[in-house]
Amino acid sequence: MKRSRVLGPGIALALAAMALAPQASAEVERGELLSASCFTCHSIDATGNMPGLVGYPRDLMVSQMQAFADGSRPATIMDRHSKGYSAADIELIADYIATLQQ
């Protein structure tokens, strides 16, 4: 890797700004990783014909996943998916998805 570049004033300013900003909170939490597997079908760009999930209300997510799992909400495939997650996992997913913004 070749990083040797002349530091201009702009870069120095940028580096100073970076020193002030907290280091990247680059850690993936379980809720985010679990939710990522939903995005395969339920694109976060809201393309496709599966219902979009961006900003989906937390409690509604929990209740709908439970309804798919217990059969009270009819489904073609979500009944088979919803049964694969614990109540705790569903809450993690619901918490994370509720934070998504377009």
The two structure tokens encoding residue 1? 């890797």
Longest dimension (CA), the chain: 65
Q: Which of residues 12-41 bind another protein (CB under 8 A)?
A: 13-14, 17-18, 21-22, 24-30, 32-34, 36-37, 39-41
Q: Which of residues 43-62 bind another protein (CB under 8 A)?
A: 43-45, 47-50
By CB under 8 A, name the one of 58, 89, 98, 100 that touches another protein. 89
- Contact, 50 vs 42, CB < 8 A? yes
Q: Which is nearer to another protein, 14 or 60 (CB)?
A: 14
The residue to which tokens 């989906």 are assigned: 56
